[in-house]
Amino acid sequence: MTDITPRSDHDVDEPTDPDVIRVLNRTSHIENLLNQVIEKFCAPRKDVIPFFWNVVLHSSIMQLGAKIKLANAIAQELGTSVNGNAIHKLIAARNAFAHSEINSHPILTVHPEPGNDTVHYTLHVISNSGKSRWKPREEVLREFDECFELASQSLVELRDSVLERLSAEL
């Protein structure tokens, strides 16, 4: 039987799960790469770079979705592209992890043989297009890791393209 007793604030688990920490840290890395692309392309004066990073690019002013759109616009300007599919899937997975408790949505599979029952956890993943699906947590994490590698590679290539363009102009 499932316990549906409301939890008090002091019962809420802290986000110490290594998978969640990995997801949040890697998403921060992607955001940092987006910031580098934007900063290098805009090439602010050296004396305002800290302001540019700490204020203009701060997530409370320029949200991650806006940075992705800006990186796409920069890629178009340079005649290249960004792996937007990987970035959007990464963000959808990040949101699923960030907006769920560590042990959320358990699914119990009862096996015909006693002692072989299994429990796995699911996450509610909403894609960029609005498609909503429940997926096993392990599957979401695997997809996140795959998309992280693709998104990182794509953004590093875009940042390097911006730097090549800047050095060619000097």
Residues in contact with 94: Cβ distance below 8 Å, sequence separation at least 6, in sequence order: 23, 24, 27, 144
pTM of this prediction?
A: 0.78
Instruction: Give the pLDDT score at 15.
Output: 43
* Region 5-14 average pLDDT: 43
The 10s digit of each residue's pLDDT in 23-41 is 999 999 999 999 999 999 9
pLDDT the model gives residue 110: 77
DSSP 45: -
Pairwise CA distance, residues 52 & 42, whole Å = 10
What distance in Å separates the CA atoms of residue 126 and residue 92, rounded to the nearest whole number? 6
Does residue 7 have a pLDDT over 50?
no
Query: Given this model, what pLDDT does residue 10 score?
Result: 42
**pLDDT tens digit sequence for 52-102:** 999 999 999 999 999 999 999 999 999 999 999 999 999 999 999 888 777
**Higher pLDDT residue, 10 or 128?**
128
Output the average pLDDT for the chain.
Answer: 86
CB 39 within 8 A of CB 53: yes
Q: What is the pLDDT of residues 133-164, one digit of tens each?
A: 999 889 999 999 999 999 999 999 999 999 99
For residue 157, the number of C-alpha atoms closer than 13 Å in the C-beta half-sphere is 14
Evaluate whether 94 touches 144 at the Cβ level (below 8 Å): yes
